[in-house]
Chain A
Amino acid sequence: MEKYMFLFLGGDTSHLSPEKQQAHMEKWFEWVEKLKNEQRYVAGEALMPGGKTVAGAKKVVTDGPYAESKELVGGFFVILAKDIDEATMIAKDCPDYVLDGIVEVREVIKFD
């Protein structure tokens, strides 16, 4: 099994009612539960919106990584999968696609 990282972009729920927001979140709980039951789940973190960007030789500091919430990375998972195809299949279970969410699937490089 190899490690893969899922980067979650977008998936904005701000237009939903509290009831719908909760319902959407519960779909995530089911997904995480499934990943844990299959012993694929390794780690996950949620990221605050906003932040700072440092760039260039002059180390220019700007506010926020991106302006568009569509492109904002909201968090990530590290999961186990046989290969990139299997990891991609698993990523298709992410509940955020209905909210125009995007999942980037990246293999974690093994250092040996």
Chain B
Amino acid sequence: MHDSQVNQLIDHLFRHEAGKMAAVLTRLLGFHSLELAEDIVQDTLLKAVSTWKIKGVPENPPAWLYTVAKRKAIDAIRKHQLQAQHNQQIHQGLRSEWTLSSTVDDFFTKEEIEDSQLRMIFACCHPAIPYESQIALTLKTLCGLSIAEIASSFLTSQEVINKRLYRAREKIREARIVLEAPALAALPGRLEAVLHVLYLLFNEGYNSSHPDQLIRHDLCEEAIRLCVLLTRNPTTDTPDARALLALLCFQASREDARTRPDGSIVLLKDQDRSQWNTALIERGKYYLETSTSDGAPSTYHIEAAIAGSHSRARTFEETDWKSIAMLYNLLYQMKPGPIVALNRAIAFGYSESPTAGLNALRKITGLNDHYLYHAAMGDFHALNGNESEAFHCYQSAEQRAVSPVQKKLLAMKQFELSSRVRG
């Protein structure tokens, strides 16, 4: 028992390690053994829960997990006598009892783990699997997101995501799809899905659907890290990859200014802009400037340009809303959807007038259940001096908000309004 180590487990350790172990094990066992790899990961975590909860956290938790996973992998190799449809070299090592352990050990080195993750992400983004299922499968298996988190990033229900995952696995089985790292030439074809995965992973971190946390830095960092890896490889260093990385850098630069120490939200308007991370803004600028191409800009280019425009404004009042509204118009043409429409209406309202903003908001359908829609309505009513309408909208928004921090912010807004009326 390690008395002093109680509660010292790193946040998200399980989620991180689940993704890493899945990646390494699939590479080791062959990409056709995705389900077997997932089972081993699951068994390993279960063993950790049942042991650690009673005996406490071991000295080196990741090493403990890897040791268990390795042992289970060796058992599986012996039991299934896995046919090597994969790498000949790996197969050689696994075939003899003599070299089995050391070959398995080799797969759990730091470099191999990092490499495997990106490789597996490309493998899961297999074109024969429906696009949305590819992404759900990758987020679940390799990024360790829960079904609920994936559902929230797609603005859909958990049942839908379960169906997509089921379809992905069915397809892999039926069509006997071999999930393997694609050859260099096939990488660009899969890059679109891979970028989408990283984009959603970052978003879940930046606007967490977890009730008690607004930002989960670990997810944001992970998405940036993987995106940097893409830009370091000449085959995947495309204008779109750079534009996405620029977007992630701009967004991440505001992470610290976005929450107070108590976890409550600070709106863009009220943020202390001196807290913005200038190093990240510079990196964002660099990647955006070097992301030009002869082809059409991607949605990442547009979103990065919007985020970049915000980071140029020294005060909220200096924000170039005209350009931002124009960029949202472009984005809406490329990616029409209620959330883009909402942001477009907000930018339009700030560049024209609160009434213009309200009118644009009223034209949007399908967002009645979304708290941000009602909060935006409330903001423009408040700007128009229509306190009672604004109050009403903030109330509707508060009812629909998911996390306590969001609810608290909306309650604050109602409080400010009522003191304005009284005072």
- 9-residue interface stretch from B2-10, B108-116, B188-196, B346-354: B2-10
Q: Which residues on the B side are within 8 Å of A36 (C-beta)?
A: 3
- 9-residue interface stretch from B47-55, B81-89, B299-307: B47-55
B1-30 toward A: CB 8 Å interface, digit per residue (1/0)?
A: 101001101001111011000000000000
A49 to B49, CA, bound (A): 12
* A25 adjacent to B56 (CB under 8 Å): no
Whether B378 is near chain A, meaning CB under 8 Å from some CB there, is no
- 9-residue interface stretch from A10-18, A60-68, A85-93: A10-18
Question: What residue of chain B has the Cβ atom nearest to residue A30's Cβ?
Answer: B7
**In chain A between 3 and 35, which residues have their CB closer than 8 angstroms to a CB of chain B?**
8, 13-14, 17-22, 24-26, 28-30, 32-33
Interface residue count for A (Cβ, 8 Å)?
Answer: 25
* A19 adjacent to B12 (CB under 8 Å): yes
When A13-B49, A17-B147, A74-B50 are in contact, do A22 and B15 touch as well, CB less than 8 Å? yes
Whether B121 is near chain A, meaning CB under 8 Å from some CB there, is no
* B56 adjacent to A46 (CB under 8 Å): no
When A25-B53, A29-B7, A46-B51 are in contact, do A19 and B46 touch as well, CB less than 8 Å? no
Whether B45 is near chain A, meaning CB under 8 Å from some CB there, is yes
* A21 adjacent to B53 (CB under 8 Å): no
Q: A-side interface residues toward B, CB under 8 Å?
A: 8, 13-14, 17-22, 24-26, 28-30, 32-33, 36, 44-46, 49, 74-75, 77
Q: Which residues on the A side are within 8 Å of B17 (C-beta)?
A: 18
Q: B-side interface residues toward A, CB under 8 Å?
A: 1, 3, 6-7, 9, 12-15, 17-18, 42, 45-46, 48-57, 144-147
Seed contacts A19-B12, A74-B50; 18 additional CB < 8 Å A-B pairs? A13-B49, A18-B144, A19-B144, A22-B12, A22-B14, A24-B53, A25-B9, A25-B49, A25-B52, A28-B54, A30-B7, A44-B1, A44-B54, A45-B55, A46-B53, A49-B50, A75-B54, A77-B54
* A21 adjacent to B56 (CB under 8 Å): no
Min distance, Cβ B311 to any Cβ of chain A, angstroms = 31
Min distance, Cβ B292 to any Cβ of chain A, angstroms = 39
Min distance, Cβ A65 to any Cβ of chain B, angstroms = 15
Interface hub of A17, A19, A20, A24 (most chain B Cβ within 10 A):
A19
* A33 adjacent to B6 (CB under 8 Å): yes
Q: Which residues on the A side are within 8 Å of B56 (C-beta)?
A: 29, 32
Min distance, Cβ A75 to any Cβ of chain B, angstroms = 4
Q: Which residues on the B side are within 8 Å of A22 (C-beta)?
A: 9, 12-15
Question: What residue of chain A has the Cβ atom nearest to residue B144's Cβ?
Answer: A18
* B9 adjacent to A21 (CB under 8 Å): no
Q: Which residues on the A side are within 8 Å of B51 (C-beta)?
A: 46
A28 to B55, CA, bound (A): 10
Min distance, Cβ A36 to any Cβ of chain B, angstroms = 6
Min distance, Cβ B147 to any Cβ of chain A, angstroms = 7
* A33 adjacent to B15 (CB under 8 Å): no
* B49 adjacent to A24 (CB under 8 Å): yes
Question: What residue of chain A has the Cβ atom nearest to residue B43's Cβ?
Answer: A14
Min distance, Cβ A28 to any Cβ of chain B, angstroms = 4
Q: Which residues on the A side are within 8 Å of B12 (C-beta)?
A: 19, 22
Q: Which residues on the B side are within 8 Å of A29 (C-beta)?
A: 6-7, 9, 53, 56-57
* B18 adjacent to A46 (CB under 8 Å): no
A28 to B46, CA, bound (A): 14
* B49 adjacent to A33 (CB under 8 Å): no
Q: Which residues on the A side are within 8 Å of B57 (C-beta)?
A: 29
When A14-B42, A25-B53 are in contact, do A33 and B7 touch as well, CB less than 8 Å? yes
* A13 adjacent to B15 (CB under 8 Å): no
Interface hub of A14, A18, A74 (most chain B Cβ within 10 A):
A18
Min distance, Cβ A32 to any Cβ of chain B, angstroms = 7
